Amino acid sequence: MNEGLADFLRGIAATNEWWVILPEILLAVLALGLLVLELLSPNIRKLVPRVAMAGQGVILVLLLAFGCSDCGGVPEESYFGGLLQSNEWTMVMRVFFLFSALMVSYLGGLFLARQNLAKEEFYHLVILVAAAMMLLVQSNNFVMLFVALEMVTVAFYVLVAYRRSSSLSLEAGIKYLILGALSSSILLFGIVLLYGVGGNPALPGASGDSLNFDALGSFIALNPDNPLVLTGAMLVLAGVCFKIGAVPFQIWVPDVYQGAPTPVTAYLAVASKAAGFMVLLGLLHGPFLSLQGFLVPVLVAISGASILFGNIAAVTQGNLKRLLGLSGIAHAGYLLMGVVASCSVDWADRAVLFYLITYLLASFAVFTVLSIAGQGDDAETSMETYRNLSQRQPFLGGVLTLGLGSLAGIPPLGGFIAKLFLFVAAFQAGLYGLLIVSVLGVVISIYYYFGWIRTVYFKSTGATDEAASAEVLGIQARCVMGFLVAAIILLGVFPGAMSLL
């Protein structure tokens, strides 16, 4: 190899600043360490859940202590030869994903204690997913984006099918596998089209590295009407919309949410969706900036359809996990409205982030109750399980009420403020039609959320209280749920508290 090339390669390798992704590396090491621990004696094996939770907690604290000290208005910086880019959002999102993983590990502990399943691998996969999502939101290159997204998706295939003794879980796994592979291939096809057209030397602005978001963005700015660019962007958008479960790509949501183990459903609902939205925001404000005129009407249509479909389909739904899945489609619709608004209103991306955070808190509150109060077969959770819950378990009933209230958007809670921010952003962006649709959606959603809450508080006329096995809540569970509820109320009363996080 000649000297110039060697120097050049050294120059590229010098931008591989591994310390920037130290939290992700630590998570990967933790995940590997768990597999090693599992090999040791059975006594050590029992420690795996604790080691997993403690490890994630330590990394979360380190991230908060060292990462956020200088995250106020950090300039955008590129690392790894432009593969990664950090800005003020990425740090918040890394904390977000790590916190989700910690919650899922906790819920996983509750879930696995009741099941005769492999235990240690669950934590391994959850941690790997968290690390991959943390890299996903920082990626600034389609190679990085695709590898990180595939890592998330492959681990989710396994997590969804984790309860292999249950046919519903296996069905969910197969559905997620096939549709996930299909959506990945659509996304990949879009990426390849963009790469090919962006590297065409006959077109202005072509670059040798058109997978990079910056290079691709400047290429698209010069060729916004190229049919290949438009096709590629649409396909990429379709691939991302699958991940967030927006309407034309929502078929998998109810079945997968129902069949997957409850902690995995929570993970899918919160972290996977948030990752999809962050990718979407990054793409719309990055490489697809000059395509906004073309993409915005498409996104408006998807958003409106998602809100209406999710809410209307949820009304008649008796299975609670399916209900949460369908209402999750509606939430994806509201969030998409915020994403569309962010094209013209500059603070709307903050509103999206705020919504994601309140959605995280409320969803985990509801899913924690679901994990604790749910009966053994966690795919068949019906309303009847929760009949009169407030009498049997007042604490669980209260947490469930507040969580559902926040999801519905009831005034003193965080979900209300989050919805309000999104609606104001949409109003300022002039999306009046979409705004009417989403207000309609909220009204419909109140019906089914309150139907559930009503079940919690009232006895049915003829039902016997045979499920009155009042498990005593551990102090740990009370602390976790108390924290979630306190955060929901705090964000509702004092939204500025988000800046503390």
Q: How far is the CB of 177 from other proteins (least distance, A)?
A: 10
DSSP notation for 40-80: S-HHHHTTHHHHHHHHHHHHHHHIIIIIGGG-TTPPPEEEG
Angle at the Cα of 272 (from 361 to 84), degrees rounded to 5?
Answer: 110
CA 381 to chain centre: 22
- Residue number, 32 or 315, with CB nearest to other proteins: 32
> Which CB atom, from 132 or from 491, has the smaller least distance to other proteins?
132
Of 54 and 143, the one with the shorter C-beta distance to other proteins is 143
Residues 6+ apart with CB under 8 A from 94: 23, 63, 67, 134, 137, 138
Sort 10 into a burial class: Cβ within 10 Å, 0-12 / 13-18 / 19+.
exposed
Q: What is the DSSP letter of 319?
A: B
CA distances from 193 to 216, 227, 243, 289, 297 (A): 12, 10, 20, 18, 22
Residue nearer to other proteins on the CB measure, 154 or 305: 154
The Cα 471–Cα 208 span in angstroms is: 62
Binding site for other proteins (CB under 8 A): 4-5, 8-9, 11-13, 16, 21, 28, 35, 80-81, 83-84, 113-118, 121-122, 124-125, 128, 131-132, 135, 143-144, 147-148, 150-151, 154-155, 157-158, 161-162, 164-166, 173, 201-202, 208-209, 376-377
Minimum separation from the CB atom of position 85 to other proteins (A) = 13
Distance CA 277, CA 272 (A): 9
- Listing DSSP states for 334-400 in one string gives HHHHHHHHTTT-TTHHHHHHHHHHHHHHHHHHHHHHHHHHS-SSTT--BGGGGTTHHHH-HHHHHHH
| Least gap, CB of 491 to other proteins (angstroms) | 34
The helix/strand/coil state of 284 is helix
Collect all residues with Cβ–Cβ distance below 8 Å to 190 and sequence separation of at least 6: 231, 232, 233, 234, 235, 236, 237, 238, 239
- Least separation in angstroms between residue 4's CB and other proteins is 6
> CB of 155: closest distance to other proteins in angstroms?
5
With contact defined as beta carbons under 8 Å apart, do 358 and 318 qualify?
no
CA dist., res. 60 & res. 23, Å (int): 8
Q: Closer to other proteins at the Cβ: 113 or 500?
A: 113
Q: How far is the CB of 29 from other proteins (least distance, A)?
A: 11
Q: Which is nearer to other proteins, 141 or 390 (CB)?
A: 141
Report the C-alpha gap between 441 and 201 in whole angstroms.
48
Nearer to other proteins, 132 or 335 (CB): 132
As measured in angstroms, the least distance from the Cβ of 327 to other proteins is 27
| Residue 334 to residue 246: CA distance in whole angstroms | 10
